[in-house]
Amino acid sequence: MRRSIGQLFTSPVTWREPVGLYTFVGWLAAVSWPAIVGTLIFFPPTAEAGGLLNDWRLKALIAGGLAVAAIIWLVKGEREREGGPSSRLGILARFLLFGFIFSLAALILVVLGFAIVSAFGNEGFLPALGGIESTLFLFGVAGLPFALMVGISYALWSGLMVSLIVFSPPPPTVPRARVSALFGGALGRPEPDSAEMDLAANPEPEPEPAPPPPEPKVDLEGGVSHHPEREEH
């Protein structure tokens, strides 16, 4: 069981075909974090709390959707440039890293926004400075653990959904010898063995023709032909 789970997250993966469909399905599943979607269903926002548009869970879903799309785009660019991450574990690690960065960036933007609103909402320099200090302490210090906990948990869920839905193991490659054995070589013909292939690539040289026999010597006076070979014997 542990070995199968390890192979699931450490084996090489590629984009699941069709890429566009599974990317959208994986993005939708990654955005739909049960901790937010479940509380929205079972504990819907009330009018006294400002309604759905002012609910922080809806804003978290919108921010999560943008963050997941950005991380998928970053992972795609990294795979095209460097060939990695090549496994589901590497993709999950990218989601955790970028989720942590996006959580800090979102918290900083929220703190700066509330600090500006509190500064302009008070009359005078000292009241504005006190409002900025209270905002920084409330959202920047006290809200930091909550923001990181939500952001990292959201990133973990998103990474799992994207790595399992958008990516899949590459198709198995069949050796050429096995394909030739199944289909009888190229175009149904039996594939030649190695000896025949070597003979076709390097043909043996043709033997040289035998030299012609020596011409006999003719005695013009006596009409007798003398063979050099007979004279030697």
Residue 141 lies in a domain: yes
List pLDDT tens digits, range 106-124: 888 888 877 777 777 666 6
Determine phi and psi for 226, rounding to 5 degrees.
-110, 125
- pLDDT of 211 reads 72
pTM over 0.85: no
Residue 203 lies in a domain: no
Q: Which residue has the tokens 């990292």?
A: 152
DSSP string of 30-59, one letter each residue: HH--HHHHHHHHHSPPPTTTT-STT-HHHH
Residue 80 lies in a domain: yes
Residue 153 lies in a domain: yes
Residue 198 lies in a domain: no
Higher pLDDT, 2 or 83: 83
DSSP β-ladder status, 167-168 and 217-218: unpaired
Per DSSP, what are the bridge partners of residue 226?
A: 217
Q: Which residues, including other chains, have CB under 8 Å from residue 104's CB and lie 6 or more apart?
A: 147, 148, 151
Residue 158 lies in a domain: yes
Within 13 A of 34's CA, how many CA atoms are on the CB side? 3
* Residue 218 to residue 86: CA distance in whole angstroms: 91
List pLDDT tens digits, range 145-203: 888 888 899 999 999 999 999 999 888 775 555 545 555 544 445 555 566 566 666 66
Q: Does residue 86 carry a pLDDT above 50?
A: yes
DSSP symbol at 192: P
Contact between residue 174 and residue 134 where contact means Cβ atoms under 8 Å apart: no
Q: Can you give the residue range of the structural domain that contains 139?
A: 18-167
* Residue 55 to residue 18: CA distance in whole angstroms: 36
The domain total for the chain is 1
Residue 219 lies in a domain: no
Per DSSP, what are the bridge partners of residue 217?
A: 226
- pLDDT of 174 reads 58
Residue 55 lies in a domain: yes
